Structure 1
Amino acid sequence: MWTHARWQGRLLPGHLPQGERLRAYATWCDAVEGNTTFYATPSRATVETWAAQTPPDFRFVVKLPKPVTHEHRLAGGEAELGAFLDAIEPLGPRVHALWVQLPGSFAPSDVGVLAAFLRRLPRGHSYAVEVRHRAFFEDERSERLLERVLAPVAAEWVPFDTTVMFASPPTSDAERDAWTKKPRVPRRSRALTGRPIVRYLGRDDERRTVEGWRPWVETAAEWLREGRSPTVFIHTPDNADAPLLARRFHDEVRARVPGLAPLPDPMPDDEPLTLF
């Protein structure tokens, strides 16, 4: 995500090579979604550069590979999983959670497979599961069943709040794309562990995005008062201003919880100006 084209030269220094952009991003935000690992497991050498560019308390929430979660549906893919776990090892404590994102077809009837899979995972990591089947959100029995499976391994349930996106029809190409691809599920705000993770999707309109995250500001503040350590990811359909919005969200939470540390000052763009 730190290589997002819309950020280069506007939010992140434009002259930085790709291998240095994470260092700049880490001055804007102190956590990142490792979404690219879903599509391809990086080399161990690449992950070593990620570790070198980030402070020890930086948080990676790293998605498990697609072959494990979507192709084998947790009932295989041991080789792919082993390669992934070996590749991310250089991140050490920066791995805040391994993110098990499941397809929308993964239903309550599949929860036994999830339970067996979670039991096989190494205990050295924290785990976070994202489900997209509506039954988990609308049927209390299915909800409690999933919570009972997550509890023995202290895994968190990751809500992806898209309610603002689906509150009214899309108005741009980016919103139309999100409308067709993102899950349409109710908002969920119950934390299961001391390390809750939230994914929030707003709109192109900044005002609507900010209005929509108000419940999460209050929830995150309450979690902090309870001694939890939440991680909140702010998205919009094109993510052009996501780092700015993430910092604004952080400031709103900090206004309610003054003990929350501020984010670092963003890296300046010190590229020299030229006339030609």
Structure 2
Amino acid sequence: MPHIGLTGWGDHEDLYPAGTKPKNMLGIYSSYFTVVEVDSSFYAVQPRDRMARWVSETPGEFQFIVKAYQGMTGHLRGKPYFSNDDDMYTAFLESIKPMREAGKLQAVLFQYPPWFDCTREHVALLRETRRRMGDIRCALEFRHQSWFSDAFKTRTLQFMRDERWIHSICDEPQVSPGSVPTVLEATDPDLTIVRLHGRNASGWQQNGAENWREVRYLYRYDEAELEDWRQNLLQLSGQSREVSVIFNNNSGGDAAANATRLMAMLGQNPKPLVPPDSTQGEEPPEQLSLF
């Protein structure tokens, strides 16, 4: 049965009673879902002790999909934090050790930018990246349509199989060339990842806008769209032993509602979301010490 989860655990108000402290959110999140995408690792390599704390705050079967640091996927702009690629990869691999040792690292997600097109140079870079990551499970997500054009689609998928890349299948607006089609084909017999970004075509193209992060993923899937994905997931479950689905439509607070609805459609009996303005389970205010 597919695992359903969200991008991050801090942006979903309908999971937490009012007044929930950030330090308690991951534990509550893991009572709803069995997988999460760690997005903060894209912006900075996370300290090892922070990763270890997240491991300790979640049940034994819980899994993390950790997004690769932006310097590893060509997104970095401005002055690099690391002096060279060797130091960067060494720091990242050290960071994720607690999750690996606990058996909670499902995969590292490499999402490449819209300008990362299908060229000989980029294919060589993907080979080198996979070599650096060793035996760690790695998922690959493109944002340029050339990889799945008629000329390259079959070869792209075979390359991913040959180089041990897990296919991160996308649902996103079809805005050429900075998006990819939904290709329902697994490249790894053990795991396939699906990331649902929403279908806000106008918001998808506003990279230069000041509030682009707020509008890009502003979308709520309707019942028919979720039913289509229920059927898609059943199909993918026949191709991979595990399928993990990440809802990334966070901008309007729609991800958790869509995720739990899809879980219900799959017969997974999800935990009910917290009603708006609920204080159920809220921690009592801390008393000030006079001594």
Change (3 A) 1:236 1:117: closer
Residues 231-270 of structure 1 aligned to structure 2 (within 5 Å): 231-236=244-249, 238-254=251-267, 262-263=269-270, 269-270=280-281
Q: Does 1:133 align with 2:144?
A: yes
Change (3 A) 1:205 1:134: closer
Q: 1:173: which partner in 2? A: none
Q: 1:2: which partner in 2? A: 9
Aligned partner (choices 10, 16, 21) of residue 12 of structure 1: 16
Cα distance in 2 between the residues matched to 1:116 and 1:134: 22
TM-score by length of 1: 0.78
Q: 1:95: which partner in 2? A: 105
Deviation at residue 71 of structure 1 after TM alignment:
5.2
Cα distance in 1 between the residues matched to 2:118 and 2:193: 21
1:159 partner SS:
strand
Q: 1:51: which partner in 2? A: 55
Change (3 A) 1:44 1:272: closer
| C-alpha contact (below 8 Å) 1:127/1:156 kept by paired residues | yes
Q: Does 1:105 align with 2:115?
A: yes
Change (3 A) 1:191 1:238: same
Deviation at residue 215 of structure 1 after TM alignment:
2.5
Deviation at residue 152 of structure 1 after TM alignment:
2.9
Q: 2:196: which partner in 1? A: 200
Cα distance in 2 between the residues matched to 1:235 and 1:209: 15
Deviation at residue 37 of structure 1 after TM alignment:
0.5
Please list the CA deviations of residues 229-261 of structure 1 after superposition, one character each: whole Å capped at 9, or x if unmatched: 10111233515131221111122123xxxxxx5
Deviation at residue 11 of structure 1 after TM alignment:
2.3
TM-score by length of 2: 0.74
Q: Which amino acid aligns with 1:148?
A: Q
Q: 1:213: which partner in 2? A: 226
2:185 partner SS:
coil
Aligned partner (choices 130, 146, 149) of residue 159 of structure 2: 149
Q: Which amino acid aligns with 1:116?
A: E
| C-alpha contact (below 8 Å) 2:139/2:165 kept by paired residues | yes
Aligned partner (choices 77, 94, 101) of residue 86 of structure 1: 94
| C-alpha contact (below 8 Å) 1:31/1:59 kept by paired residues | yes
Deviation at residue 44 of structure 1 after TM alignment:
1.1
Cα distance in 2 between the residues matched to 1:205 and 1:128: 24
Please list the CA deviations of residues 92-129 of structure 1 after superposition, one character each: whole Å capped at 9, or x if unmatched: 31111111111111121111221222123221x21100
Q: 2:73: which partner in 1? A: 69
Deviation at residue 226 of structure 1 after TM alignment:
5.3
Q: 1:26: which partner in 2? A: 30
Q: 1:176: which partner in 2? A: none
Cα distance in 2 between the residues matched to 1:51 and 1:62: 12
Cα distance in 2 between the residues matched to 1:183 and 1:68: 19
| C-alpha contact (below 8 Å) 1:111/1:146 kept by paired residues | no
Deviation at residue 264 of structure 1 after TM alignment:
5.7
Change (3 A) 1:212 1:201: farther
Q: Which amino acid aligns with 2:144?
A: H
Q: 47-56 vs 239-248, which deviates more?
A: 239-248
| C-alpha contact (below 8 Å) 1:200/1:213 kept by paired residues | no
| C-alpha contact (below 8 Å) 1:29/1:243 kept by paired residues | no
Q: Percent identity?
A: 23
Deviation at residue 46 of structure 1 after TM alignment:
0.9
1:158 partner SS:
strand
Deviation at residue 62 of structure 1 after TM alignment:
0.7
Report the number of matched residues.
244
2:32 partner SS:
coil
Q: Which amino acid aligns with 1:218?
A: Q
Cα distance in 2 between the residues matched to 1:43 and 1:272: 28
- Structure 2: segments with no counterpart, 5+ residues: 1-7, 78-83, 200-217, 286-291
